[in-house]
Structure 1
């Protein structure tokens, strides 16, 4: 990484002059004097130790190095503008930032969000999904709902729902003589089913492997094979006829838990969301 960066104003002046093809027009666009733009460009060229413009009277054109830098600078300024605009969300007075896994968001929370929004329209919910458990002490998150949580400093921890697992597949595969085995991770691994005393449903050691339990559930619902699925997350697929159990047995699954940051524990929005969540999980 560079130890010293060129001034941002110099990059803005360069981008405007290159885009408009004129120091004078760049000065007007940025509400500066033409001499200020010229000075910014000269300082940038000195820093880079090479010219960025061909100068001929009042007209200017980019050198090869200037063309290269223009592409980089425009991308940098665009990303910076987007990042700054994104900060607006932190000024929203009724915002609630909720972290969860992509699987829970897609298969359980998303189908029920309309109900929450109808009940609590004043809550400006920001759903932040991640595969990794967030660090609640350093990230701007009010609460997290996941199946891989443990206690963290500066947070209250509570278990919301004890999940169950069972083998399932698409109804079209029920009569199939051979089915591909779909493998997940952690509790969704078939070794967990066997250790918990689950019956043999024809699962094999080889097959297709998924690190995301949401994709594992999608694959089973699409008829790719038989998988060990979450009873909680699979509920909608079962109701829609896209998934059917292969056994009446159920084994212990992950515990869905909640972390609430201490700064949000007495927040009305967080309490409303948690009350709704507990009712929906019941």
Structure 2
């Protein structure tokens, strides 16, 4: 086709103009800075126009470049979308996930259908774990675990910032109204075992100075503790993210306005993010949280 600049020159221009940096454009295109600069110069010669004004370390777009950039970007986006739609492999890509038990059941499962609607060609293989350390093998494309992020051998992205709150079923609170901490301490208390954040330290942070706290029920997994609270066994100390849906649906209610920041968080370990199905999941979960 006539009157079309070379594709590589257009790619170099689009990346440089969007990032306003030859160096960043080179990193994105996986070429040298000199190669990007040469491609831009070739495009300027082809168009007989100046696209960038160099002011020391600063790179500024000319008026012509400002007008040309959205056109070039739109063409690349349209070409990419058409290629994906028309020529993507017909077989499903399988996404393997290794996820903390409670996060999987209480947060991910209620929302996974939304991801599937957006990406119907991606199938799943989901396993769960109670481990607070990432695995050292390629067990999954994505791991989501609850911990403290102190893993030198793994690159982990913190997904959440959570608070410990107290919840109970509406029916339980109707029979056992809570007006203050004294009322709360007299009620049957539920917890998940294995956390640094205990009922004792949570109450002390709220100003409680009474005797040591005894539990009515301690559970191996948060999902069991949540079910116990839903079924009116007592008041539960839990991370707010895990009961988000229960609070919205009204099966549990927050007791008072007390809370305590969690020392831990949910972290995501990603392997081979360049795979399209992995990147699609990572983008989706970051937008959903």
Aligned with residue 270 of structure 2, among 257, 260, 273: 260
Give the match for residue 77 of structure 2: none
CA, structure 1 residues 198+153, in 2 after alignment: closer, same or farther (shift >3 Å)?
same
Q: Partner residue of 2:245?
A: 236
Quote how far apart the aligned CAs of 1:189 are: 2.2
The alignment partner of 1:111 has SS state of: coil
1:165 to partner: Cα distance = 1.4
CA displacement, residues 245-279 of structure 1 (integer Å, 9 cap, x when unaligned)? 11112211231111112xx1322211111111111
Residue equivalent to 2:234? 225
For residues 187 and 109 of structure 2, what CA distance do their matches in structure 1 show? Answer: 30
Q: Deviations over 1:77-132 (max 9, x none)?
A: xxxxxxxxxxxxxxx86111111111111111111011010011122221111222
Query: 1:1-282 alignment to 2 at 5 Å?
Result: 94-133=93-132, 136-148=135-147, 150=149, 152=151, 155-177=154-176, 179-185=187-193, 186-187=195-196, 189-197=198-206, 204-253=213-262, 254-261=264-271, 264-281=272-289
Q: 1:120 to 1:224 in 2, by over 3 A?
A: same
Between the aligned partners of 1:238 and 1:198, the Cα distance in structure 2 is 25
Alpha carbons 2:131, 2:145 under 8 Å: kept: no
Q: How has the CA–CA distance of structure 1 residues 242 and 156 changed in structure 2, closer, same or farther, with 3 Å as cutoff? A: same
**Secondary structure of the structure 2 residue equivalent to 1:108:** helix
Quote the offset at 1:231 in angstroms: 0.9
Structure 1, unaligned runs of 5 or more: 1-91
Shift of the 249–179 alpha-carbon distance from structure 1 to 2, 3 Å rule, reads closer
**CA separation in 2, counterparts of 1:151 and 1:273?**
24
TM-score (norm 2): 0.58
Shift of 1:184: 2.1
Counterparts of 2:268 and 2:207 in 1: how far apart (Å)? 29
Distance 1:228 1:204 in 2: 13
What SS does the aligned partner of 2:113 have?
A: helix
Query: Is residue 137–residue 153 contact of structure 1 (8 Å, CA) maintained in 2?
Result: no
Q: Distance in 1 between matches of 2:249 and 2:275?
A: 37
SS in 1 for 2:269: strand
- Stretches of structure 2 that go unaligned for 5 or more consecutive residues are 1-90, 177-185
Aligned mates of 1:203, 1:279 — CA distance in 2: 42
Count the aligned residue pairs: 188
CA separation of 1:146 and 1:199: change in aligned 2, threshold 3 A: farther
Q: Secondary structure at the match of 1:161?
A: coil
Give the root-mean-square deviation of aligned CA atoms: 2.7
CA contact 1:188–1:213 (8 Å) conserved in 2: no
TM-score (norm 1): 0.60
